[in-house]
Structure 1
Amino acid sequence: MRFCLLVMAKSPVPGHVKTRLCPPLSPEEAADVAAAALLDTLAAALETPGAVPVVALAGVVRREDVRDALAECVVIPQRGVSFGDRLANAHADVARFRMPVLQIGMDTPQVTPELLESCAEFEETALGLALDGGWWALGLRDPLRAAVLRDVPMSRADTGALTLEALRGGRSRADSGTRVPPARAGVVPAVRMLPTLSDVDTIADAHAVAAQIPHSRFAAALASVAAVTR
């Protein structure tokens, strides 16, 4: 089965990415860690059977290694002010591919091709919750249903629960201007729950994830600044 593997990513520019790692990291160190996370994520995406990797990118890429990795993917710009809007717009932009979408971010460098391939198997919708209360993966048979994310508060301890509620209800903001395919009358859309992962927001998260993937770019980048993070 072919599917669109949509990666929401931010260019690893010091001062604009992974700012919650500062301190103890410097903005430059945080950007290096973010770049490693993105590279590990893209490597897994490119090796996932059946996946068509698409990166919704925010910012200008200045690193050659990141540019080289992005050259192997379809790259589209992120659109919108709020994160919910950018998510919904990215899904709408890839709807032209006419295939199911599995969307992830660059905060879970521990993903593997095998995990991503298995997560792409769902009937209507899939959601992978994160340990911090958010979510790390969203699968949609119809990417236009991501319009419900416009109303979901992001980066909160209840974001995952609210996203699940929105997906099951299929509601969208009345003034959004975006049509959301309605669920069949009296039928709650099925949501397959994916494995729960830890994403990288804090330095404690970073060390926990690095311990899971000790031979990764991410673990190596974090180890290079370990002296100031312990």
Structure 2
Amino acid sequence: MRAAASAQLVVIAKSPVPGAVKTRLTPPYSAREAAALAEAALRDTLAAVAAAPAARRVLALLGEPGPWLPAGCDVVAQRGDDLAARLAAAFADAWAALPVPPVLIGMDTPQVTPALLAEAGRLLGEHEVVVGPAADGGFWLLGQRRPDPALLAGLPMSRPDTGALLMERIRAAGVRAALLPELTDVDTAADARAVAALAPSSRFAATLAALGTDVPA
């Protein structure tokens, strides 16, 4: 197996159902509009995963798959009582199915590229952990050469210090870690505009444009 394809790519996501996703976009967008943006972001993310070298492609899904699911992607149900537990379970389930280093990303960075995902896999050949820091203080990607449940167990999520706390755990474990470039998660309308500007040819940018420009800055 080529080194660049020595990782499996795991997307953890919710089905883009109105009222269940991207609730911080409402307002200014309606629940249906927020769900449309979530679906576009998910489609862009899955397209990047499909185009990146990988030993396996997985969607750890909360909800039901829809027509946005591409061929060649295994679907597994999320499990766990909170986000940290669901992330740890996604790592464990991916490893149990195929003992190849898992690289996990969310559905909130539609600007992600196949090259970035390939770089994450490459870095796991030299490091035990790879982290993609997010502009909001969290992380948009986490890869582990071999999943360690202690890395995520009880980790406070969706906080400005989530990424810093994760890095503290990595340092305490004494493992080698690599960092990818910082990306912006789409949480707010301002985030959506910034990300669309970074990826103007994406489905996400097209969907945002179709919703109109009368949303307050």
TM-score by length of 2: 0.92
Which one of the candidate residues 201, 206, 211 is aligned to 1:225?
211
Q: Which moved more, 1:125-134 or 1:220-229?
A: 220-229
Amino acid at match of 1:79: R
Amino acid at match of 2:76: I
Where structure 2 has 5 or more consecutive residues not aligned to the other structure, the ranges are none
Question: 3-state DSSP class of the match of 2:152?
Answer: helix
Partner of 2:109: 108
CA contact (8 A) 1:49 1:117 kept: yes
Q: Displaced runs of 4+ in structure 1, greater than 4 A? A: none
Partner-residue secondary structure (3-state), 2:180: strand
What displacement does 1:229 show?
A: 2.0
Query: Does residue 48 of structure 2 align to residue 44 of structure 1?
Result: yes
> What is the rounded CA distance, in whole Å, between the counterparts of 1:102 and 1:163 in structure 2?
16
Distance of aligned partners of 1:51 and 1:42 in 2 relative to their CA distance in 1, 3 Å threshold: farther
The answer as to whether partners of 1:54 and 1:76 remain within 8 angstroms in 2 is: yes
Which residue of 2 is the match for residue 151 of structure 1? Answer: 154
TM-score by length of 1: 0.87
CA-based RMSD of the aligned residues comes to 1.3
- Report if the CA contact (8 A) 2:9-2:54 is conserved: no
Match of 1:83 in 2: 83
In structure 2, the partner of 1:179 is none
**Quick check: 1:21–1:30 contact (8 Å CA) kept in 2?**
yes
Secondary structure of the structure 2 residue equivalent to 1:110: coil
Identity of aligned residues (%): 51
Q: Post-superposition shift, 1:25?
A: 0.4
Once residues 115 and 24 of structure 1 are traced to their aligned partners in structure 2, the CA distance between those partners, rounded to angstroms, is 31
Counterpart contact for 2:131–2:142, Cα < 8 Å: yes
Shift in CA distance, 229/147, structure 1 to aligned 2, threshold 3 Å: farther
> How far is the alpha carbon of 1:167 from its aligned partner?
2.2
